[in-house]
Amino acid sequence: MARLLITGGAGFIGSHTCVVLLQAGHELVVIDNFHNSCPEACRRVERLTGRTLVLEQADVRDGPRLNSVFDRHGRFDGVIHFAGLKAVGESVKEPLLYWHVNVCGSRTLLQAMAAHGCRTLVFSSSATLYGNPDSNPIAETAPIRPVNPYGQSKAAVERMSRDVAESQPGCKGWRLACLRYFNPVGAHPSGEIGEAPQGIPDNLFPFISQVAMGERSSLDVFGGDWPTPDGSGVRDYIHVMDLAAGHCVTLEHLLDGQPQLLTLNLGSGCGTSVLQALAAFERVVGRSIPHRIVARRPGDVAMTVADPGRAAAVLGWQTERTLAEMCADGWHWQQRNPLGFG
């Protein structure tokens, strides 16, 4: 059992990971500024697991506040860092905001960890840092060349993590993992927690769900002329519960191992186009979902599919849930919570 700090733990991926970590017996302190999340998510995590966690409102850019959390809760065995902004389109419009939150926030967190003797971190990275890859599936050795500020910010934090790891080699060094995951979707099968974006969704599946519920008139498919089989963009979708399990096994691998910097893809290795995902969701809902093909979105690429082989070799981890389960669990959440956590 470990005592862990989870930044952004009230968010979509963070809350599902908290479920898995609590079920594994770990003790959690969660901090979140609730920019795009809600305290109710953590209350539901507690109900699902029958265990409690400590929840504090804090921003990772706030150094004094972070240090206060470390001071008051004693030594943490490790940190899982989810806190950050994640919308590609918004990052193109607001690049300085993304650099401030994602990069400066991560720097402040690493500084607080160093000051309090905590040197184990799992960082929420992203496949967007691969940009427009030369080939698919994408291995961790592929060139890093992001095409949008969101991806640039993730690449910068990975570079910072590498510098930190190299600054203190040996037995007292850092245990760091950068998890480059692809497209998390779905929800907890109970329908108690799921993705609840505030405002217009930036991600595909929440938007499909809202159109299916009648909250929005139509789904915009960004680009019908990509060099893919049906002209729509192809992505590697991963069930959020599989992703949560990946974070748990990564953390336990770091805690049990030697100082290291571990970089892993978390994905299914299977590509699904936007139109294929829409058709799968329509089969779950039982009716057609209105959509239209519109111009490509700035910062997008044609195809990203993971090569998850290294995660399987190092962690013994692989995805278990199908696209149909992703759609069914996401739809179950949406039906039970049409207003999200509100």
- Distance between CA atoms of 122 and 260, rounded to whole angstroms? 12
| Dihedral sign of CA atoms 280, 284, 290, 294 in order | negative
- If DSSP codes are grouped into helix, strand and coil, which group holds residue 338? coil
Task: Find the length of the chain.
Answer: 342
Question: Tokens in use for 11?
Answer: 């968010």
Sequence-ordered list of residues with C-beta below 8 angstroms from that of 274, at least 6 positions apart, any chain: 204, 221, 222, 232, 233, 234, 235
150 is catalytic: yes
CB atoms within 10 A of CB 59: 18
**In whole angstroms, what is the distance from residue 330 CA to residue 278 CA?**
13
Active-site residue (options: 98, 130, 150, 237): 150
Question: Degrees (nearest 5) of the Cα angle 17, 155, 261?
Answer: 65
What's the token pair of residue 108?
């402040």
3-state secondary structure 72-109: HHCCCCEEEECCCCCCHHHHHHCHHHHHHHHHHHHHHH
Only one residue has tokens 């995660």, namely: 311
DSSP letter, residue 134: S
Query: In whole angstroms, what is the distance from residue 116 CA to residue 164 CA?
Result: 15
Which active-site residues does the annotation give? 150
